Amino acid sequence: MIAAIEGILEYSGVDSIIVKVSGIGIQIYVPSSSLSKLGAAGDNVYLYTHLHLREDNVSLYGFTSSEELALFKNLISVSGVGPKVALALLSSLAIEQLAMAITSGNAELISQAPGIGKKVASRIVIELRGKLEKEWKEAALPLAPEDADAIAALTSLGYSLREATQAISSLPNSSELGLEDKVKLALQQLAGR
């Protein structure tokens, strides 16, 4: 099993990179959130990896942290969630946000990631909630289920799920803020970036 890869970044695509290791170019699928952390072509990179074997395909998935790799492995252990779906989730939400959404039972937020329906999101919550509660006790960004509507409003305006979630999670935790107020404050924050 290939547990990690270190080499020179040769190419960065939309969802994969090519790393040159001892003269061999290896294609590794990575979450889009990791692409910006890897640097430019010619830079040295180190990735934690998961080798995924199927009858008709062998793919290598890479992550910049061991926590991200652990969450990926948990996700693909869920019935109906393959590596591409897990990668889409990790590309849409920061690992802390995804872990908090699972442990808080926020299937609505999870279902807003591309390719994730409500059924699959609910299954992820049901199968991983107890397991992740032990591993992610201090997940950083608690999001209330009622924040899902504000996040949905922002994503419908063209913001990515990651941007919307970060903006909503950084708002003051006030129960008197309505949906419109949350969206308005989040838009002001996003415009100021």
Q: Quick check: pTM over 0.85?
A: no
**Phi–psi pair at 45, nearest 5 degrees:** -130, 150
What CATH superfamily classification does 66-135 receive?
Answer: 5' to 3' exonuclease, C-terminal subdomain (1.10.150.20)
Domain spanning 147-191: CATH 1.10.8: yes
Give residue 172's Cα distance to chain centre: 24
Per domain, the residue ranges of the chain are 4-63, 66-135, 147-191
Exposed/middle/buried for residue 22 (C-beta within 10 Å: 0-12, 13-18, 19+): exposed
- Tens of pLDDT along 104-156? 888 888 988 888 899 999 999 999 988 887 776 544 445 666 677 777 777 77
Classify domain 4-63 by CATH architecture.
Beta Barrel (2.40)
Query: CA end-to-end span of the chain, whole Å?
Result: 42
- Tens of pLDDT along 143-176? 666 677 777 777 777 777 777 777 887 787 666 7
